[in-house]
Amino acid sequence: MRAFQVLSAGQAAALTNCPTPEPGAGEIRVKIEACGLNFADLLLEQGKYQDTPQAPFVLGMEVAGVVDALGPGVAGPVAGTRVAVFGGQGGLAEYGCFPADRAVPLPDAMSAEDAAAFQIAYGTSHLALDHRARMQPGETLLVLGAAGGVGLTAVEIGKLMGATVIACARGQDKLEIARQAGADHLIDAKTEDIRDRVKALGGADVVYDPVGGEQWQAAFRACNPEARLLPIGFASGDVPQIPANHLLVKNLSVLGVYWGGYLKFRPEAVTGSLRTLLGWYQDGRLKPHVSHILPLERAREGLELLRSRKSTGKVVITP
């Protein structure tokens, strides 16, 4: 089969031919129809992600496809079932073997492309806003990187949860996508002062930040008392340092969010969240935004779209 593999630590991934894997105990094999790209794939390739496996390994954290074979001791989902799986690796290939207990059966109406774009982005935002921040209707949510893979889902989910949503992104084209997703107010990070604009709108009760750097600092200074700040990632490359004395004075809370970590210590939080999200999808309340769908041989191009921030929503690869 073809696979987009990191062959040795720190080496750029390349399209290779390798044996089709056989499922082990507790695993299913999936004929992969679509794989969603994530910023974490860039970090995995560089060996900088917190869960980087030992090389060689195949990039691609989340997939959708059809169950093709079952490993020893696995009763289901049975062969032929359409599923989405978060595997953490192995998705940029024609076949992949993944833990059976992570497979989520898909609604008939859900395309493979939507399913591959769904779990991490929507799961992260829902878990962050609902489980971690306990966001309430009527609160003001500031979303940084609001047109990106996770940011856009935070706009959608924040609006569904009854928040007033302030979307911050770079450029009017990206802000228009955030507006279509439900944002109430728009801030252009290229031309406007984030702190001044947010404070003029009444301040932020919850900050959702996949960017870090200067935007984090501006948002931090625009928080209302008892605001909750959610560091989701650091697409800017700058991990902010948080002044504890400012947390104390304004009674602020910083709540780290790593969606994949919950699969290890509290998987029921993830499965419950996904049930809610799939219900919203079936009701037509969520509409995944996929800006690019590319074949496997263009996986490098897809990663570069993420690196250069030229994509909006998700980039999906179809083996």
User: What pLDDT does residue 164 have?
Assistant: 98
Interval 101-116: pLDDT, tens: 999 999 999 999 999 9
Please report the domains of the chain, with CATH numbers, ordered by start residue.
2-118+288-318 (3.90.180.10), 122-258 (3.90.180.10)
Q: Whole-angstrom Cα distance, residue 150 to residue 282? A: 20
What is the pLDDT averaged over residues 25-52? 94
Q: What is the predicted pLDDT for the residue at 178?
A: 97
Tens digits of per-residue pLDDT, 2-16? 999 999 988 899 999
Say if CB 152 and CB 272 are below 8 A apart: no
Q: Is residue 64 scored above 90 in pLDDT?
A: yes
The pLDDT score that the predictor gives to residue 51 is: 86
3-state helix, strand, coil in the chain (%, to 5): 35, 30, 40
**3 state DSSP class of 8:** coil
pLDDT tens readout for residues 149-192: 999 999 999 999 999 999 999 999 999 999 999 999 999 999 99
Computed over every residue of the chain, the mean pLDDT equals 96
For 127-147, what is the mean pLDDT?
A: 98
> Of 211, 207, 236, nearest to 224 (Cα)?
207
What backbone torsions phi and psi does residue 176 show, to the nearest 5 degrees?
A: -65, -35
Could you give the 3-state DSSP secondary structure of residue 208?
strand
pLDDT value at position 50? Answer: 85
Is 135 within 8 Å of 163 (Cβ atoms)? yes
What would the pLDDT profile of 182-220 be if each residue is shown by its tens digit? 999 999 999 999 999 999 999 999 999 999 999 999 999
DSSP string, 103-121: EEEPPTT--HHHHHTTHHH
